[in-house]
Amino acid sequence: MDALSGKTALVTGAASGIGEGMAVKLAETGANLAICDLQETVHDVAEKIANDTGVTVRADVVDVRDPDQVFEFVGEVNSHFSGLDIVIANAGVWRPTDPVEDSKEKTVADWDLLVNTNLKGVYLTGRASIPHLVSNGGGFILNIATDHICPPPGFATGGGTRMDVYDASKWGINGLTQSWAKRLAGDAIRVNAFCMDATDSAMIRFASSKFNRDMSEEVINAWMKPHQIADLMLQLYEEGPQGRTGENIGIWLNHPIELPPVREVLPSRHP
């Protein structure tokens, strides 16, 4: 399948989990691929994808909290592939935080890690990429948020009692997604966010162990899988230049893994 032949896609946090699943799907559909992660194993992932699919894959160790590293990587990708078309801002971290029990040192360290990775990382990835997408005549940005800000029908927003900083970092992505979508609509760049429920990854396995949650085979098998999220990403991309933009798309357990109907575009109170 070569639906994306000639396109160039960039995925952050691609050494495992959802990021790796996105990278594999993009390569399988023919896109030139650039992936990065803080883990050195991103090179192993790149080698396997290249061997399995035959596409050109570029991989680098990049800390998405560092503006110099992010802008350099994105610029090199654009130059190497003579363009950039698809950006998946996936890199993210989680750790438990408690407003009652945490020390001052942990309070500050948690904020710096979670906000700088989950929010600043998405911000830097987008800001580094957007000028190249504009120059290329259009593009597609997908930010990775959480079902905490877009829960299934009948449930309140928000995560657990030890997720204040994580949730704050993910809520911020909503502001970037919606503002960028409005600003970039005239440049044929669509910007959306996926808000996933439990999806099998190192992050959810770590969180489940921290909260002593059931991690039986039955529970893990019920989690969504990265390739399912990647399939949905491709469907969203295939809506084309006139497709939806500025949406938080909820993807939940015990619900069909599918794109919802396009939402009505309401008038904005701000230019």
Instruction: Report, as residue numbers or ranges, the catalytic residues.
Output: 166
Residue 207: inside a domain: yes
> Can you give the CATH number for the domain in which 162 is found?
3.40.50.720
Of 189, 177, 192, 217, residue with least CA distance to 131: 189
Residue 259: inside a domain: no
Taking only the tens place, the pLDDT of each residue in 222-260 is 889 999 999 999 999 999 999 999 999 999 999 999 999
Residue 56: inside a domain: yes
Query: How many structural domains does the chain have?
Result: 1
Q: What's the token pair of residue 257?
A: 């893994």
First vs last C-alpha separation in the chain: 41
Residue 261: inside a domain: no
Which has the higher per-residue pLDDT, 210 or 66?
A: 66
- Give the bridge partners for 57, in sequence order: 33
- What is the model's pLDDT at position 220? 78
Q: What's the token pair of residue 214?
A: 């059931």
Which has the higher per-residue pLDDT, 252 or 209?
A: 252
Residue 214: inside a domain: yes
Q: How confident is the model at residue 185 (pLDDT cuts 50, 70, 90)?
A: very high
Domain that holds residue 203: 8-251
What CA–CA distance (Å, rounded) separates 75 from 79?
6
Taking a C-beta distance cutoff of 8 angstroms, is the pair 151, 157 a contact? yes
Residue 154: inside a domain: yes
Taking only the tens place, the pLDDT of each residue in 149-183 is 999 999 999 998 999 999 999 999 999 999 999 99
Residue 1: inside a domain: no
Residue 20: inside a domain: yes
